[in-house]
Amino acid sequence: MSYPVRRLRVVRADPSILHVDLDAMFAAVEQRDKVSLRGRPVVVGGVAGRGVVATASYEARAFGVRSAMPTAQARRRSPPNTAFLSPRFAAYKKTSEVVMRLLAGVSPLVEQVSIDEAYVDLAVTANDLSTAGVTELALRLKAEIAEATGGVTGSIGAASSKLLAKIGSDLHKPDGLTVVPPGAELAVLHPLPVSRLGGVGPATEQRLHRSGVRTVGDLAAVPLELLVDWFGTAHGTGLYRLARAQDDRPVVSEREAKSVSAEETFDVDVTDPVRLHRELDLLAARVAGRLRGNGLTGRTVNIKVRHHDFTTVTRAVTREQPTDDGRLIAHLARRLLAEIDTSGGIRLLGVGVSALADFAQDDLFSGAFAGAAGDVFGPAELFWAGAPEPGLLAAAAPGTPAGGTAGPAPAVLGGFATGAALPAAGDAAAPAAPPDSAGSAAADPAAADPAAADPAAAGPAFAAAPDPTGPAAAASAAGSASVAGPASAGPAVAGSVERPEPGPEEPPRAPGGAPSVTWRPGQDVRHEEYGAGWVCGSGLGRVTVRFEGPLTPPGPSRTFAVDDPRLHPTDPPDWTAPADVP
C-alpha cells in the first residue's frame, strides 16, 4: 500500500531540537584508551557466563553481536581476536561529562537522557535555525565532540520534535547526521519499520505484524478505535499520535529520579528460598542506603524476578507513608516474593522503591518494626542502610567455584590457551597467534559445568582460543527499574508479567568468603616498574597486563602473580595528557 504524505502542522516550524548520541560509547572509549584494540572487535559487558553485552563495537556488530545479547552467545559469534572487557564506568562518565559541557555551550537547555545521549533545544539560542544553519552547527558540534573526547564520535539528529530528532540520530550511524526539514516529517517517518517508534517493543511489534502493520505508514492508516481496542487507551492513543509525528514534548533540563533500585544476576538459577530471602535483604539494604544518601523516601516497594527463560515478573505494594527503612523494604519484598513461583529457578532478582518523596513519616512504625525484626531476619542478617554489605567485596579464591568446593580453574591468559606453559611472573608474554579464520568463535562459557567454573577469575579478555573455563567475573553494575505504584492510601498490590528481550543486568556477585585480589579484563592498573596499563586476563594465580595508553604505540604484555605488590588499580588514563608508559 502507498500512503499520501501531507505537510504536517507541528508545534515547531524549524529543526530546533538536536538529539546527540555517542556511537557505541563504551566500546569506543575502550578503543581510545587501549591503542592495540583500535579496529578490532570489542565487547563490553558482563564477562561471566550469565553476563550480558552492554555495548559492542561496530567491528563486533559485523559478526552479529548486539547489545542485550547474552555474552555466551556473543562469544560464539565473535572471531578469535575479539576483546571481552568489563565496564569501566569512571572512564565513561569522564567522557560523558566532557560531551555534556560542550552541549551546554551550545544551549542552556540540555536534557541528558543517559550517559551517552542528550537532547539540545536550539530555540532558546540566537543560532540560525534554518535547515542550512542547523546543519552547519551540527557538523561543527560533531567535530568538537570527536576532538574533545579523543576520537569518540557522535551521531546527531535534528528535527522539529524529540521523536524525529532521536530517529534521525540513528538513521546514519556511526558518525552520522540527519536534519529533517519542517514539513518532511512524515516523508522520513512513514517508510520506517514500526520498531523505530519508541513505544513499540517486541510484543507490540508482533501484534502489529499479525495485523499486517509493518511500517509506520501502515500504522498511520489504522483507525484510533482499533488501536485502542488492541492496546488500550493510553498505549493505543500514543501509537496513533507517534505514527503522525505528533510529539510536543519539551526539552527538560532537569529530570527527577522516579525510582531507586538494585538487581542481582546469579551464576546459576537459584531455587533455595533461604538464599533468595538473603539476597532480598542485601538488595533492600542497598536501596535503603541510596535513598538515605539522596535524602529520599518512597511509598511503593517493588520486586523484579526473572526466570531462566527470561520471563520477567514484577510485583509492587504501596504503603500509606513513605519509608527509607531497609528492614521494612526487605519485609515487604519478602511478602511480594511469596506470591511468585520460584521453584523453577531464578536468574535475576531486583528490589526497588518508587513514588519518591523527600521526607519520611513512619519513624514510629519503624521503631516498632525493629522490635519484631527477628521475625523477618535471622540473628546475623540485620544489615543497616549505609553499612558495608557482607560479601560484596569478597571474591572466591582461584579454583573455588560459587559453591565453595575447590576445583580446576583453567583460563586463557593474554593469548595463552589452557594447558600451555604460563610465562613466569614478570616475563613478557608471547603474542597470540593470528586467527586462522575470522569466522571461528570461542566456546560457549555457559556450556561448561558451572560448578567447575571460577566466577572470581577475571579472564579471559580475548576469545583467542576456545574457553573451557566457564563464567569469569564481571564488573559490578547495579541496574534500576521504575515501577509505578497506585496512588491510593493504604497497602495496595500490583503486578505484571512481561517477556522482553534480555537486557544488560547486574553481573553476579562473588559469594562471601575471605577477600582476595580480583583483576577484571580491561581494568586500569599501574605497575611500579612498567607504568600504566590494562588487564588482558587473569587466572591460575596470574594476571596479564598490556602496558599501553591512548597516546602510546601498542605496548608489550607481561604476566605477574595476582598478588604482586607492585601492581595496583588506578584511575582511567587521560587521553589529553602526555603518555608516561616507557
Q: What is the pLDDT of residues 466-508, one digit of tens each?
A: 333 333 333 333 333 333 333 333 334 444 444 333 343 343 4
The whole-number mean pLDDT for each consecutive block of 10 residues of the chain, a chain of 582 residues, reads: 41 91 97 96 87 94 94 94 94 96 95 94 94 96 96 97 95 96 94 92 91 95 94 92 92 80 87 93 93 88 88 89 92 94 91 80 42 32 27 30 33 29 37 33 32 35 37 34 34 43 40 62 96 94 95 95 95 78 46
Query: Grid coordinates in use for 217?
Result: 505508514
**pLDDT on residue 415:** 29
Helix runs in 54-201, H state only: 58-61, 71-77, 89-106, 131-148, 162-171, 185-189
Residue 116 in marked binding region: yes
**pLDDT on residue 12:** 85
Catalytic (active site) residue 263 = no
**pLDDT on residue 181:** 95
Task: Give every CB contact of residue 64 below 8 A, 6+ residues apart in sequence.
Answer: 77
**pLDDT on residue 246:** 92
Catalytic residue selected from 30, 111, 117, 263 = 117
Integer-rounded Cα Rg, in Å, for the chain is 25
**pLDDT on residue 441:** 32
540/525 Cα distance (integer angstroms): 19
106/140 Cα distance (integer angstroms): 11
48/248 Cα distance (integer angstroms): 43
486/5 Cα distance (integer angstroms): 42
Instruction: Report angle CA 42, 44, 49 to the nearest 5 degrees.
Output: 110
Q: Strand locations in 308-435, DSSP E?
A: 312-323, 346-357
**pLDDT on residue 255:** 66
CATH number corresponding to 259-386+478-498: 3.30.1490.100
SS3 338: coil
**pLDDT on residue 71:** 92
Q: Pairing between strand 492-498 and 312-323? A: antiparallel
Query: Grid coordinates in use for 487?
Result: 496512588
**pLDDT on residue 365:** 40
566/357 Cα distance (integer angstroms): 48
**How far lies 35's CA from each of 32, 544, 552, 554, in Å?**
6, 16, 7, 6
**Residue in the block written with cell 529520599:** 296
pTM over 0.85: no
CB neighbour class for 232 (10 Å; exposed up to 12, middle 13-18, buried from 19): exposed
Question: Could you state, in order of their start, the residue ranges of all structural domains in the chain?
Answer: 198-242, 259-386+478-498
Does domain 198-242 fall under CATH 1.20.120.1200? My reply is no
**pLDDT on residue 245:** 92
Return the HEC string of 460-504: CCECCCCCCCCCCCCCCCCCCCCCCCCCCCCCEEEEEEECCCCCC
